[in-house]
Structure 1
Amino acid sequence: MSERKKILLRLDPAVYDAIVKWAGDELRSANAQIEFLLRKALAGAGRLPADAKGIPRRGRPRKTPAADGAAGGDEVTDVADVTEGAGAAGDDEEE
């Protein structure tokens, strides 16, 4: 597995504070919120690479039902596409 790219990003303090507040509202870290916004912008512009991996989830993997229908399977669910269900209800942008 390839390592995730690390970058140094300089932001206006007011912009960073707004990102931190927004991230807190959506239960994300500031770093995860920045990545989410960048992916959403790339997808919206039709520039998100087809081979881009999903955003890794933190914490314990979710369990799915076993293939035979029995509860308690150990399979991990796939990470949902960033562009689907991107925001919570009421987060739609107004134009």
Structure 2
Amino acid sequence: MASKKSFPLRLDPSLYEALERWAADEFRSVNGHIEYLLREALRREGRLPSPRARDQGGGTKDAD
């Protein structure tokens, strides 16, 4: 398994509670659900490199 970057994240308690309920509905941890939501947003915007580009050292569509 690839290593993951750790960093502190401060959230408004009501936002966390909403994420916690949503994550439970999707059978995910809150951390896993946040990662899923961020990945989907990046994919929608075309900012997530394809797996092949990552293997070849490529970047996002914004990289020149």
User: Quick one: distance in 2 between partners of 1:9 and 1:35?
Assistant: 12
Identity of aligned residues (%): 52
Superposition misfits of 4+ residues, deviation over 2 angstroms: none
Structure with max Cα Rg: 1
Q: What 5-or-longer segments of structure 1 have no aligned partner?
A: 53-95
- Whether 1:10 and 2:40 are equivalent positions in the alignment is no
- RMSD, aligned CA: 1.5
User: Quick one: distance in 2 between partners of 1:45 and 1:32?
Assistant: 20
Q: Which residue of 2 aligns with 1:35?
A: 35
Structure 1 length normalisation: TM-score?
Answer: 0.50
* Per-residue CA distance 1:37-68 (angstroms, 9 max, x = gap): 0001000111012246xxxxxxxxxxxxxxxx
Q: What 5-or-longer segments of structure 2 have no aligned partner?
A: 55-64
Number of residue equivalences: 52
Match of 2:31, SS state, is helix
Task: Decide which structure has greater helix share.
Answer: 2
- Deviation, 1:2, is 4.6
Structure 2 length normalisation: TM-score?
Answer: 0.73
Q: Which residue of 2 aligns with 1:25?
A: 25
